[in-house]
Amino acid sequence: MTGLRIGRFAHLAFCALVFIFLVAPIIVIVPLSFNAEPYFTFTEGMLRLDPAAWSLRWYREIIENEVWTRSLANSLVIGVSATVLATALGTLAALGLSSPAMPARRFITGLLISPMVTPVIISAAGMFFFYTNVGLAQTHLGLILAHATLGMPFVVITVVATLTGFDRNLTRAAASLGAGPVRIFRTVQLPLIAPGVISGALFAFATSFDEVVVVLFMGGLEQRTIPRQMWAGIREQISPAILAVATFLVVFALALLLTVEWLRRRASA
Amino acid sequence: MGLVLPLLVFLGVTFLAPLATMLLRSVHDPVVADALPATLAALREWEGEGLPPEAVYEAAARELGSAREARTLGQVAGRVNRLQSGLRSVLTRTARDLDDVAGGPWREAMAGMDSAWVDPGTWHAIRAAGERFTARHYLNAVDMRRLPDGSVAPQPEERRIYLPLLWRTLLVSLAITVFCLILGYPIAHLIAHAPPRRGNLLLALVLVPFWTSLLVRTTSWIVLLQTQGVINDILVAIGLVGDDGRLSMVYNMTGTLVAMTHVLLPFMVLPLYSVMRSIPPLHMRAAASMGATPAQAFRRVYWPQTLPGVGAGSLLVFILAIGYYITPALVGGSSGQLISNMVAYHMQTSLNWGLAAALGALLLVGVLVLYLLYDRLVGVERMSLG
Amino acid sequence: MRTDRAAAAAARASTCTALLAACFATQAAAQSITAVSYGGSYQKASTEAWFEPFAAATGIRVDVEDFTGGLAQIRAQVEVGNVYWDVVDLNVSDVTLACDEGLLEYIDAEMLPPGPDGTPAAEDFAPGTLSDCGAGVVVWSTIYAFDASRFQGAGPETIADFFDLEKFPGRRGMRRVPMFNLEFALMADNVPAEEVYGLLDTPEGLDRAFRKLDTIKDHVVWWEAGAQPPQMLADGEVVMSTAYNGRIFNAQVLEDQPFAIVWDGQLLDINQLAIVAGTPRVEEAMRLVSFASTAEALAALGRRISYGPARASAAPLITTHLETGVEMGPHLPTHPSNMTGALWRDWAWWVDNQDVLNERFSAWLAR
């Protein structure tokens, strides 16, 4: 029995290490972003909790720096537009895929999800060639279309998943009571699949908000986004200002995660 | 069906058409053919032995001049130069010097400007670059080249680069998949069989990195692993390594492996978790009650039931790993680069877009095969997002 | 001032979202142009010496972008037909290449301002600093530098010392391109400067250069942006690094870094200002190029960072460093005391050979 105990203990210890591996890198940059010095390590002052060693100077720098605020505006505009587009088209398609009369379901599902598994460098290269030909490169519209494409599979997956637990008798009942398809969608289906739609939309937004390769290939000066700006910073010289932006993004990610979890609970409750 | 149509059309325009354009780029390059049509037509008469006839020189002299005026000469010369280096300046200089030449015989005039014009190799290069449809980017992508006589031969040793890189990409992806499995299996097991509240909390810990920006995670690893970084500082502080013996853990293969394992681990844990959750604890208890040791019970009862999850997670991680670009580009230094980085290099730096497209096409085919396999084994509609 | 532009961009962007249209319209002839430079201290110096005074004198604002050299982005913009860079600071081989490809506007020497005493530009500019599409601005050099505080005894003195791991152990920084490194390798292998390119033109010479690089390969940290080497030296990431001489100078005088430059085997180069073909702001761009290539403007740059001027009449105006009063002369790459063992980079040779050498270099790195 002691062997079993040791085994259990080893298992738990190993798991603890893996969890540290998963989370520690993300946590460690948060305190470093309050470093008063332009270094990326904990200075002695920071370890002694000397208030002078901690400062908000990097946060002030990013708030005052118009490059970062402009990138944020771009990220939001592109992200929100791409999300709206991806969610609308993706939800419709998921409804279609879930209908029993859908032909070639497996093939079409595979096709719709393919942008998610295609290496983004390939999508970006192809989009660069094609969007250049049609004059969409270096425009907001081009990036919105590209990001909507990359985010759409997430919407399809989450909405299809919610719909598998969906009782078709409800729509049939509504139809027999004289409701038209639009009315059925609005009053019966939408409230039930709403958590899935919102989760999918959040996934799509997160995809766009984090996307850098397509922006790198297709975006011009006017389309600089937050990840694009971070990319430049990391490649050239990491300033602690990058860590301040990163901290902001971590907080943002936590908010997204909590929202999605909350929606999932609600959907499964 | 009507509901799916808008998205299919959208996808056709925003995604499939771009991929098709890329595939076309990998075999189609009209620049030289458009700029030197008469020269190439005249070259077709030439057997490839000795020097081409005067008609070729005459056409070349005329068309080099007009390409210079149209300012397409640089692109033409660049493409010929890729087949035989040194010809870029021969073409541009000759075009410039020809301005001062009133008339033929052109062969002597051009031979006087550069001895390359009396080298049949130059004309072979121009003829090859003039192919409107060509397989040379694919040959190049697998470290082969076409010799002047039309046969295909391997590149010289020092120019073989893509096959070793493809091989390395596969090995690295495999290693990362194995790491993810070793790290992911125990924690998926822990989460799946923990009481619901604790399980949810632990699952959230897995999802935090999943939702956090990739660039943030990559930055974190640089901060942790660099020579003057947090981990080295700790190692020096506790005396494990000397201040001058700090470890190089980033900007090399180690950096790529660590950061990519971190990035892809959630994609392993989630499918494992959903499979494990559906295994009733009763099975293990039954095995134990029949006298199996925990190790036996695990091997004979538990492990076989988790295989679908192992397969799904491993395939997903592997598919995502072989196309990875951002992480190796930022933390991989020179030894931690993968095939995608080479695609990016030819897209953005060398501007050899045909070669970039060919490499991309090869990678795409590899991913599609794996994706079909995944669909066959797991079913894409069951891809879970936590 | 720049917030209006952000506001305008945001407004334009929101129109895009509302209508998913109007995005095609490029900005109408604006009162601003975009100049592109290399980031870090050189960009700061160019901004203070050229771009800000130009904006003050003409009312045309200059937005400054940074890049790490090369033609990729320019070619992409011209190919796409949406040119948003106007004036670019390029080395002379990139100007030549780009000019042949039609990526740059022609710049005639007659369009450039004469010297302060009226000498025509064509005579005032040093030989080789003007080309069909470029107006020379600086003569700079790639050198190697070390952190003197890290060597107890004598520091490295020759280019051969850079490759000598026994005498000077520790990691080296080198730029991740074959250019510069192949030349350094041969010079360190006792090839006299004037024979370097003759030898590189032969397969044996190339093999020899790569073999020499092999000897330190495992100890090299590769850099890409000019701002990185001073940072890597300051962080102790490397004990010595190749670098652009002006970056090291600025770290020396402005940040009091204990860096020292080894001039032996320095590789001299010329940078020019060029105008991207097809920019709708070509007139404003040409005004900026003329402004920045006056003797006064070149001297203003030379008093901020230790790069030599491309025109003779600017040389006497470069006296002391503006901020610290340091005598600039001995810090310029072309100063006689720095020229022993110096080599001018053969840009024509590189234009022909960079494709195949970049490929070979990547293969070599990956091995």
User: CA C143 to CA C338: how far, in whole Å?
Assistant: 11
Supply the pLDDT for residue B27.
96
Determine, for residues B208 and A253 on separate chains, whether the beta-carbon distance falls below 8 Å: yes
pLDDT in tens, B189-218: 999 989 988 998 899 899 888 889 999 999
Residues B12 and B78 in one domain: no
- Give yes or no for a contact between C262 and C172, defined as CB atoms under 8 angstroms apart: no
Determine, for residues A149 and B219 on separate chains, whether the beta-carbon distance falls below 8 Å: no
By C-alpha distance, the chain A residue nearest B11 is A149
Whether residue C27 is predicted with pLDDT greater than 50 in this model: the reply is: no
Instruction: Calculate mean pLDDT across residues B140-159.
Output: 86
Average pLDDT, chain C: 85
Domain-terminating residue out of B111, B132, B153? B132
**Nearest-CA distance B343 → chain C (Å):** 13
Q: Considering the domain boundaries, does residue B103 fall inside one?
A: yes
Determine, for residues C9 and A81 on separate chains, whether the beta-carbon distance falls below 8 Å: no
- Give yes or no for a contact between B385 and A154, defined as CB atoms under 8 angstroms apart: yes
pLDDT in tens, C286-343: 999 999 999 999 999 999 999 999 998 998 898 888 888 888 889 999 888 898 889 9
Supply the pLDDT for residue C16.
40
The residue of A11, A33, A117 whose CB has the most chain B CBs within 10 angstroms, and thus the best one to mutate to test that interface, is A117
- Give yes or no for a contact between B21 and A130, defined as CB atoms under 8 angstroms apart: yes
Residues B115 and B184 in one domain: no
Residues B184 and B317 in one domain: yes
How many CB atoms within 10 Å of residue A190?
Answer: 13
Residues B345 and B249 in one domain: yes
**Among A143, A153, A137, A159, which residue's Cα sits nearest to residue A225?**
A143
Which stretch of DSSP H or E encloses residue A88?
helix A66-98
Whether residue B272 is predicted with pLDDT greater than 90 in this model: the reply is: yes
Instruction: Calculate mean pLDDT across residues C259-276.
Output: 93
Supply the pLDDT for residue C9.
47
Determine, for residues C101 and B89 on separate chains, whether the beta-carbon distance falls below 8 Å: no
Q: What is the ipTM of this complex?
A: 0.89
Regions of chain A where pLDDT drops below 70: 1-2, 39-40, 165, 236-238, 267-269
Determine, for residues C363 and B160 on separate chains, whether the beta-carbon distance falls below 8 Å: yes
Can you state the angle between helices A190-210 and A66-98, rounded to 10 degrees?
Answer: 140
Determine, for residues B168 and C366 on separate chains, whether the beta-carbon distance falls below 8 Å: yes
**Nearest-CA distance B131 → chain A (Å):** 20
User: CA C159 to CA C155: how far, in whole Å?
Assistant: 12
Determine, for residues C351 and B334 on separate chains, whether the beta-carbon distance falls below 8 Å: no
Whether residue C152 is predicted with pLDDT greater than 90 in this model: the reply is: no
CB < 8 Å to A235, chain B: 330
The residue of A39, A106, A130, A184 whose CB has the most chain B CBs within 10 angstroms, and thus the best one to mutate to test that interface, is A130
Q: Which of left, alpha, beta for B245 (phi over 0: left; psi -120 to 50: alpha)? A: alpha
Q: Considering the domain boundaries, does residue B304 fall inside one?
A: yes
* Confidence label for C28 from pLDDT (cuts 50, 70 and 90): very low
**Contacts of B among chains (3+ CB pairs under 8 A):** A, C
**Nearest-CA distance A237 → chain C (Å):** 7
Pairing label, strands C32-37, C87-91: parallel
Q: Which of C221, C351, C364 sits opposite B251 (nearest CB)?
A: C221
Pairing label, strands C32-37, C61-66: parallel
User: CA C218 to CA C154: how far, in whole Å?
Assistant: 24
The residue of B29, B87, B88 whose CB has the most chain C CBs within 10 angstroms, and thus the best one to mutate to test that interface, is B88
Residues B279 and B355 in one domain: yes
Whether residue C12 is predicted with pLDDT greater than 60 in this model: the reply is: no
Supply the pLDDT for residue A179.
84
User: CA A41 to CA A30: how far, in whole Å?
Assistant: 12
* C interface with A, Cβ–Cβ below 8 Å: 2-3, 6, 9-10, 13-14, 16-17, 20-21, 23-24, 34, 39-40, 63, 65-66, 68, 76-77, 79-82, 84-85, 224-225, 227-228, 231
Determine, for residues C65 and A221 on separate chains, whether the beta-carbon distance falls below 8 Å: yes
Q: How many domains does chain B have?
A: 3
Determine, for residues A32 and B223 on separate chains, whether the beta-carbon distance falls below 8 Å: yes
Instruction: Calculate mean pLDDT across residues B294-311.
Output: 88
Q: Which of C13, C21, C39 sits opposite A74 (nearest CB)?
A: C13
Supply the pLDDT for residue C243.
95
Q: Which of B114-128, B305-319, C351-365 has the lowest mean pLDDT?
A: C351-365
CATH architecture entry for A68-236: Orthogonal Bundle (1.10)
Whether residue C29 is predicted with pLDDT greater than 70 in this model: the reply is: no
Residues in B 15-74 with any Cβ partner in A closer than 8 A: 15, 17-22, 25
The percentage of residues in chain C with a pLDDT greater than 90, rounded to a whole number, is: 46
Supply the pLDDT for residue C5.
47
Question: Touching check for B135 and chain A: CB below 8 Å?
Answer: no
Structural domain that includes position B89? 29-132
Question: Touching check for B292 and chain A: CB below 8 Å?
Answer: no
Residues B342 and B252 in one domain: yes
Question: Touching check for C181 and chain B: CB below 8 Å?
Answer: no
Q: Which of B21, B219, B221 sits opposite A126 (nearest CB)?
A: B21
Q: Considering the domain boundaries, does residue B282 fall inside one?
A: yes
Q: Which of A42-51, B26-35, C120-129, C312-321 has the lowest mean pLDDT?
A: A42-51
Supply the pLDDT for residue A140.
94
Q: Which of C103, C360, C365 sits opposite B159 (nearest CB)?
A: C360
Q: Which of A126-135, B277-286, C19-28 has the lowest mean pLDDT?
A: C19-28
* Confidence label for B1 from pLDDT (cuts 50, 70 and 90): low
Q: How many CB pairs under 8 A join A and B?
A: 271
Please give the angle made by the CA atoms of A50, A54 and A57, to the nearest 5 degrees: 155
Residues facing C135 on adjacent strands? C130, C273
Residues B39 and B12 in one domain: no
Residues B185 and B317 in one domain: yes
Q: Which of B84-88, C138-142, C166-170 has the lowest mean pLDDT?
A: B84-88
Please give the angle made by the CA atoms of B329, B218 and A72, to the nearest 5 degrees: 100
Q: Which of B6, B7, B206 sits opposite A22 (nearest CB)?
A: B206
CB < 8 Å to A156, chain B: 7
**Nearest-CA distance C113 → chain B (Å):** 27
CB < 8 Å to C351, chain B: 88-89
**Positive or negative: CA dihedral A13, A17, A18, A23:** positive
Supply the pLDDT for residue A153.
93
- Give yes or no for a contact between B367 and A117, defined as CB atoms under 8 angstroms apart: yes
**How would you label C287-306 residue by residue, b for 16+ Cβ within 10 Å and e otherwise?**
bbbbbbbbbebbbbbbbbbb
Instruction: Calculate mean pLDDT across residues C132-158.
Output: 90
Q: Which domains can be identified in chain C, with CATH numbers?
A: 27-139+271-317 (3.40.190.10), 140-268+337-366 (3.40.190.10)
User: CA A206 to CA B229: how far, in whole Å?
Assistant: 29
CB < 8 Å to B226, chain C: 237
